[in-house]
Structure 1
Amino acid sequence: MTFEQGLLISVYIFCVGLFGLITSRTMVRALISLEPIVNAIAINFITFAYLLNNKETETGELFSLFILAVAAAEAATGLSVALSIHRNRRSTRIDQSNLLKW
C-alpha cells in the first residue's frame, strides 16, 4: 500500500464516520460513528510512521495502540451513560435529551 492509498482510505473512513455522526439521532449511533473516526486517525499514524521509516522507534504503531485503548474505554463509558439515560428516560434520542442543562 502506498502513502497516498493509506491517506485516501483514512479520509474515506473519516468521512463515513463524520456523516454518521452528523446524521445520528440516537446516542448509541453517535458513539458508534465515533469509532470509524478514531480508526481513521490510527490509520493516519501508521501511514505516517511507514513514511518516516524509522526502524529504531515505532511511534506510529505504539501511538495507534494507545488511541485504540482510549477509544475502547470511551465506547464503554459512553454506552454505559446511554444505557443509564435509556433506563431513566426511556429514550436515547439526542434532540430529546436535556439532562445536561441546568
Structure 2
Amino acid sequence: MLIVDKDTFVPEVLEAEGFVFVDFFGDGCEPCKALLPHVEKLAEEYGDKLKFTKLNTTKARRLAISQKILGLPVMAIYKGGEKVEELVKEDATTDRIEEMVKRYALAE
C-alpha cells in the first residue's frame, strides 16, 4: 500500500490512471487500526487491478476537509480525480469494504 500525504495525494490519487482506493485514517482512530490488516490483505489480493493508498488525516487535515472527510474511518474509491464511492464510519465494515474493492477491481 502506498502512503500518500498532502504533497503526493494529487499525483498519486487524483491524477492516477484507473481506480484508486484510499484508506483515510487517523493516529487515534481505533476502528481504522482494526480494519488495516483486512485492507492490506485486499491490497495484496487486488493490487494488480486497483491502486491502494492510505492517507493519515491527522497529518493532512486541510486535505481531508477538502475531500469532505469529516469522520473516520473512510474508505474511498477515486477515478479521474473524482470520488466515485465511499464507506464512512460504521458502514466501513470488512465485508462492505471487500464488496466495494471487488466491484471496482473486477470492473476494469
TM-score of the aligned structures, taking structure 1 as reference length? 0.31
TM-score of the aligned structures, taking structure 2 as reference length? 0.30
Kindly indicate which of the two structures has a greater share of residues assigned to helix. 1
Q: Which has the larger radius of gyration?
A: 1
